């Protein structure tokens, strides 16, 4: 029996325990609620369960973890908007190693699957790096949105105070010498 067969055979138990690892990263009062897999009643719990299942299947296929399944990416997006540090947001990926060691460690040693296990662990490590990339991109996008909003609000406040003005549409360069209305001063001169 290969490691892949063994992991496939124990899929439901491992996926359930890996979901528990993710849930335990949330506050105690949220953990029971997140167990419910209801797309509309509990979208975060649903996203976690779907993400974990799709990623586990991807890891089993071993097609190379150069692309994260959409369900798993959605899970990382959710974690990016929540109050997690980078390490906290990605730490659950390494929890899969602990779950598998707990569940199948003795069989892996007994059957002499150390090389297969090392390769699988390497895929898990690659997954963690990809998750960090997704998390970082989402956080950067959030930062950009917040920055743009602050700029817009500042501009609106300056405009309301009469301290800001709109540039003409054809303004492109500081040496602009466009049409001036009577009484205006061309500051580029």
Give the model's confidence band at 105: pLDDT under 50 very low, under 70 low, under 90 confident, else very high.
Answer: confident
Query: Is the model more confident about 150 or about 65?
Result: 150
Residue 151 has pLDDT above 50, yes or no: yes
Neighbour-count burial of 116, counting CB atoms closer than 10 A to its CB (0-12 exposed, 13-18 middle, 19+ buried): middle
Contact 119, 128 (CB under 8 A): no
Q: Would the pTM count as exceeding 0.85?
A: no
Domain ranges (residues) in the chain:
3-158
């Amino acid at each position: 029996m290969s490691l892949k067969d063994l992991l496939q055979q124990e899929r439901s138990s491992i996926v359930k325990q890996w979901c528990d690892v993710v849930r335990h990263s949330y506050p105690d009062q949220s953990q029971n609620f997140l167990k419910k897999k209801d797309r509309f009643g509990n979208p975060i719990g649903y996203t976690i369960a779907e993400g974990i299942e799709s990623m586990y299947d991807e890891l089993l296929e071993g097609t190379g973890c150069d692309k994260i399944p959409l369900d798993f990416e959605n899970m990382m997006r959710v974690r990016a908007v929540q109050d997690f540090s980078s390490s906290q947001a990605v730490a659950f990926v390494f929890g899969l190693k602990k779950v598998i060691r707990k569940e199948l460690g003795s069989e892996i040693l007994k059957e002499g699957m150390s090389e297969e296990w090392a390769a699988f662990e390497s895929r898990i490590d690659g997954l963690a790096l990809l998750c960090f990339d997704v998390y970082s991109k989402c956080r950067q996008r959030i930062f950009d949105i917040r920055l743009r909003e602050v700029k817009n609000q500042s501009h609106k406040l300056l405009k309301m105070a009469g301290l800001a003005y709109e540039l003409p549409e054809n303004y492109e360069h500081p040496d602009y010498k466009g049409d001036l209305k009577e009484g205006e001063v061309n500051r580029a001169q």
